[in-house]
Amino acid sequence: FTHDLQLLVNMVKTGGQSGPPHENDILALIPFGTTFRYDDMFDDPEDPLVDPGLEREIVADVLAWARSALESK
C-alpha cells in the first residue's frame, strides 16, 4: 500500500488507463501528506492553502472516475 499520489497516478497510466480527472490538482496535494500540517491549512482565513469546496468536488470526480474504471473491468 502507498499514499504516494505520484506513484499511484504513474501506475494507472503504466497500466494503460488514462490519468484521473484533475490530475494536476491531485498532485498539488502531495505536500499536505508530508510538508504541511492540516491544522496550518486555515491559519489565514483570507488566504487558505486549499478550498475545501473545490477539494470535495475533485474527490467526487476522482471517485466517479475510479468507480467507472473498476466497473468496466
DSSP single-letter state for residue 51: -
Coil, helix or strand at residue 66:
helix
> How does pLDDT run across 20-37, given as a tens digit for each residue?
999 998 888 777 666 666
What is the mean predicted confidence (pLDDT) over 33-50? 63
Largest CA distance in the chain: 45
User: For residue 29, what are the contacts with CB-CB under 8 A and spacing of at least 6?
Assistant: 5, 50, 55
> How does pLDDT run across 54-66, given as a tens digit for each residue?
889 999 999 999 9
**Phi, psi torsion values for 34, nearest 5 degrees:** -135, -50
pTM of whole model > 0.75? no
